């Protein structure tokens, strides 16, 4: 039980460092020093550096897919589905800033197997997002903007929210939740 907490601590600390310096620029000795122990001691809790990265990246990726899966079947208008997704991005960004940053910047450093898994989760998410847009346009709830451009425009903004969130003094979470959907979706509404 305590072991789990210690492991969690390590992963959290790793995410913080990975975010600041990038996966490859953080050595196991750096990570250990930040934890106040020696590098070798880390291996009592984790099995490899790669495992830490995978654990960070995949947990966030799975969370996103999990959320969109709850949104898709709901009997609500497309705009509301999109708003719910945007809100979820904002919330996750606030709660797990380092994890999100790490996912976006360091997924390339996953080993072949984990990278494949990550990319398939990402593809799945994009497909479901695209489908919400497609249905919304078909039902004339949304304007007929080029769909790939819409998907791209909205998702990349959401993906990089964490950059923004770092300067949270500039905009409150509440303002973000009301104004960001407007900025992103107004182009899609008549």
Partner DNA sequence: TTACAAAACTAACACTTGTTAGTCTAATTT
Partner DNA sequence: AAATTAGACTAACAAGTGTTAGTTTTGTAA
Which residue ranges make up the site for its own copies (CB under 8 A)?
Answer: 21-22, 24-25, 105, 108-109, 145-146, 148-150, 152-153, 156-157, 159-160, 163-164, 170-171, 175-176, 179-180, 182-187
Kindly state the smallest distance separating residue 167's Cβ from its own copies, in Å. Answer: 8
Q: Which does 39 bind (CB under 5 to 8 A by kind): DNA, its own copies, none?
A: DNA
Regarding 111 and contact with DNA (CB under 7 A), the answer is no
Residue among 48, 78, 84 at smallest CA distance from 177: 84
Regarding 49 and contact with DNA (CB under 7 A), the answer is yes
User: Positive or negative CA dihedral for 145, 149, 151, 157?
Assistant: negative
- Please answer whether residues 71 and 131 qualify as being in contact, where contact means their C-beta atoms are separated by less than 8 angstroms: no
- For the chain, state the CA radius of gyration: 19
Q: Which does 50 bind (CB under 5 to 8 A by kind): DNA, its own copies, none?
A: DNA
Regarding 38 and contact with DNA (CB under 7 A), the answer is yes
Kindly state the smallest distance separating residue 149's Cβ from its own copies, in Å. Answer: 5
Q: Write the CA distances from 55 to 32, 48, 87, 95, 125, integer angstroms.
A: 18, 11, 24, 17, 19
Classify residue 109 by its DSSP letter: G
Residues that bind DNA (CB under 7 A): 2-3, 6, 26-30, 32, 37-41, 43-45, 47-50
């Amino acid at each position: 039980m305590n072991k789990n907490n210690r492991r969690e601590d390590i992963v959290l600390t790793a995410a913080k460092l990975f975010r600041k310096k990038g996966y490859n620029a953080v050595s196991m000795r750096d990570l250990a020093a930040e934890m106040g122990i020696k590098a070798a001691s880390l291996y009592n809790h984790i099995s490899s550096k790669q495992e830490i990265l995978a654990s960070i990246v995949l947990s966030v990726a799975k969370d996103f897919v999990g959320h969109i899966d709850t949104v898709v079947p709901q009997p609500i208008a497309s705009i509301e589905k999109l708003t719910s997704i945007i809100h979820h991005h904002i919330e996750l960004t606030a709660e797990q800033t380092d994890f999100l940053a790490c996912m976006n910047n360091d997924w390339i450093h996953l080993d072949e197997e984990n990278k494949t898994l990550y990319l398939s989760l990402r593809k799945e998410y994009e497909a479901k997002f695209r489908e919400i847009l497609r249905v919304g346009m078909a039902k004339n709830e949304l304007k007929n903007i080029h769909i790939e451009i819409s998907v791209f425009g909205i998702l990349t903004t959401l993906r990089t929210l964490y950059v923004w969130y770092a300067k949270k003094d500039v905009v409150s979470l509440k303002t973000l939740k009301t104004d960001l959907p407007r900025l992103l979706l107004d182009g899609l509404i008549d």
